[in-house]
Amino acid sequence: MHSIHQFKVRGIEGEELDFAQYQGKKMMVVNVASECGYTPQYQQLQELYHTFQDKLTIVGFPSNDFGGQEPGTNEAIQAFCNRKYGVTFPLAAKIKIKGPEMHPVYQWLTQKTHNGVADSDVRWNFQKYLLDEAGHLIKYLPSSVSPLDETILDWLSDGTSIGGH
């Protein structure tokens, strides 16, 4: 199946996040970390989510896989995100996004045999995967691309495709 809507993951508070509930909305999946040079992107992600929450959901996946930049527990991560950035978009429980213990969502996102679109490697914290309303992968963007980049804003505001990978 080539839709992310097939997945259910554990949320940061232990609740179930069923991706099927996001059908009909565009989605951004991003791996996040609290002690990264890109951590201020939490603020931009929150702004994007707040502005477009009628047609976009963002799901953050904390991971300690890059430079040990997310050493905290789920509780510590959530407290940091709430206190520092007022995050209201969904956060999953901390996961592995590379190596033999790679989470199934990231196996799907990074392997063309699963997502039907492209192979990719998650190179650092805050890499962004953009999906359409049907849960199909559209594009992935490197960590250095701001959540408020014109490419993303154009994709959200007029629904045009954002091109290749």
Q: How far apart are CA 100 and CA 125, in angstroms?
A: 18
Active site residue 81: no
**Exactly one of 4, 36, 81, 141 is catalytic; which is it?**
36
Per-position DSSP letters for the chain, written without gaps between them: ---GGG-EEEBTTS-EEEGGGGTTSEEEEEEE-TTSTTTTHHHHHHHHHHHHTTTEEEEEEEB-TTTT---S-HHHHHHHIIIII---S-BBPPB--SSTT--HHHHHHH-HHHHSS------STT-EEEE-TTS-EEEEE-TTS-TT-HHHHHHHHH-------
Catalytic residue ranges:
36
